[in-house]
Amino acid sequence: MAAASPVILCFEKQRLIKEFERAVSELHRMQSAQVLAVRNGEDFPFREQIAAASERRDCAKYAIIAHQQDHGCSRTEVPWRAEK
């Protein structure tokens, strides 16, 4: 019996990584807006939105980890170096 061939490109993993990137960007945008607001004398607005964005980022991260473990595509790609 031949060994299973390695996964060269996993589209689901790529999709999950894009989702993670969007979640991280959203979180950074909100945190930047909060910093700006505090500089303008406001008292830490956007707390709930930042907490929700942080949770979305974490969920996206754990979805990637779970997918890699289930699918076995963790060691065959270097996604952060992939062409966009």
The structure tokens listed for 18 are 């894009």
> Which of 20, 27, 73, 77 is close enough to bind Zn ion by CB under 5 A?
73
Per CB under 5 A, 10 contacts Zn ion = yes
Contact string (CB under 5 A) for Zn ion, positions 11-30, x = contact? --x-----------------
CA dist 53 → 23, 39, 47 (Å)? 7, 22, 10
Q: Which stretch binds Zn ion (CB under 5 A): 14-22, 35-43, 44-52, 64-72?
A: 64-72
Q: Looking at 7-72, list the stretches that DSSP marks H as alpha helix, in order from N- to C-terminal side.
A: 11-39, 47-71
